[in-house]
A and B are shown apart, each in its own frame.
Chain A
């Protein structure tokens, strides 16, 4: 039995972020016990392959993904539960790409079971409905565009799942108070209820969230950019089974501020409203919160579970990789919540990094491959921050020009479809297309469309499940064939990496969507990376071509300079 599984002892503790305030009932979160670590008081502690600092979404996802790959991991979290910090302002919306990753981690079905799948929403300008949108679900998909669920549920599911993985050890109540790098070893000073000890690791991944203390320990300073925007964020228990995502701009009872309402787990709703132009202190007092909520909901039979106040800000580290310490999730990039790009981005960071760390630790690849994490996820963070900032500028314009055009769009949106499309209350998180990564191999020019190198693979229903159900976290050659698949024994590795093979024929592709989306008529080969982004593709549908793509992809990554420049 691992320490992790012992630490889940079924106790729960109540967390409220409004101290001693009876009207706010708070959440009950799973409580995890502290256990004396094996190397406590060891003068020469062992070197773990990977230590992760922080047990939020990105840290837990990374621990799980590494654990599935059999990489030994120690995860250190300062608290005794997930979700204890800022319970009100945490993520709720999981995108399709993220759900695919969570599915691999074995928790997506639980999220679907407790969460709310949604695809419909309304946008009001004042009290006038200007847009009722329906995100058409893509046919034959395993996962919807979005499922909403409070973040702590997902974290608890992940912690529970990870506790079943032999190679992962979760250490709660373990606060990192110092970091030293010496050559190939990082030493963490860890404070616990029984005193301080040292954890040594070959690689440390800092997933310690916004206001990362790991940055402070390393003497890094990343400037914060504050938006002139602050919101009250409330979770409430109310019987509104049909609640849709609703966004109000220029809400008259908020002095023209904005507000949003979201569904969550059954009986739970989140309502947020802008307070920067009001009295922020007054707005988060329980009496005022109840007053506001009664106005939004038109009813008073609700129970306030949590209240928070959140100033929107962005912070982007210049580099995510500092020697053997790598930053991920909010520790590396903070952004406003519009579009649900924070938590989704953190989980996608984890997926991008896990296979690369495994490759370095198993000596399948040199350390240069970690620089591709830097390049790819920095690009993702820049895109996510830009999209969230543009939404923020629409919702609460900061300049004369921004307000002029925003108001013009809102007025035109009442009658013109093109203007409705410009109403930007958050552009949804989606998979990033890695544009200039060395891991992408240019194709042979024979594709007019399809999924380009660097894009995430497209999955949909096949004869016996879904395409990505067959993917096992390795480089995978997908052969689209009009006749027979590749003959003879297939190579099981390429460039030292395991290589899987999947054959898609017209009879496998029962919907026809795969051949169409991959522009695979007449035959095509796609090579997927271990994080299911496309490494390369070819019209030469042979195992040799697949091996060549993997070799070239990795050779290009190894040719990166030691610290690649982010452009």
Chain B
């Protein structure tokens, strides 16, 4: 894991909080925006494509 357990837990809790704070009809769009932002942060197309395949399994 890239993060410490404390960091991972903090990120996880914030993800849940942010998702729950979105209106019902914006939940999926929020996740799509987040994925695109994170893909840009990764900055490595191969790694992003591999993650997409992993998530699809």
Contacts and interface: CB of A to CB of B under 8 A. Distances in A.
Interface of A: 390, 393, 399-402, 404-405, 409, 412, 415-418, 421-422, 424, 427
A405 B12 contact: yes
Interface string B15-41: 111111000000100000000000000
Would you call the interface of chain A mostly helix, strand, loop, or mixed?
helix
Would you call the interface of chain B mostly helix, strand, loop, or mixed?
helix
A427 B9 contact: yes
Contacts of B15: 401, 405
A409 B16 CA distance: 12
Nearest to A386: B13
A390 B8 contact: no
Contact of A405 (B1, B3, B19, B55): B19
Interface of B: 1-3, 5, 8-9, 12-13, 15-20, 27, 54-55, 57
Given A390-B9, A390-B13, A401-B16, 15 more contacts: A399-B20, A401-B17, A401-B27, A405-B19, A409-B12, A416-B54, A418-B2, A418-B3, A418-B8, A421-B5, A422-B8, A422-B9, A424-B9, A424-B12, A427-B5
Contact of B20 (A400, A421, A427): A400
Contact of B19 (A404, A422, A427): A404
Contacts of A401: 15-20, 27
A418 B1 contact: yes
A421 B12 CA distance: 11
Contacts of A400: 19-20, 27
10 contacts: A400-B19, A401-B17, A401-B18, A401-B20, A405-B16, A415-B57, A422-B8, A422-B9, A424-B12, A427-B5
A427 B5 CA distance: 9
A422 B27 contact: no
A380 to B, nearest CB: 16
Contacts of B5: 421, 427
Contacts of B2: 418
B10 to A, nearest CB: 9
A418 B2 CA distance: 7
A51 B5 CA distance: 41
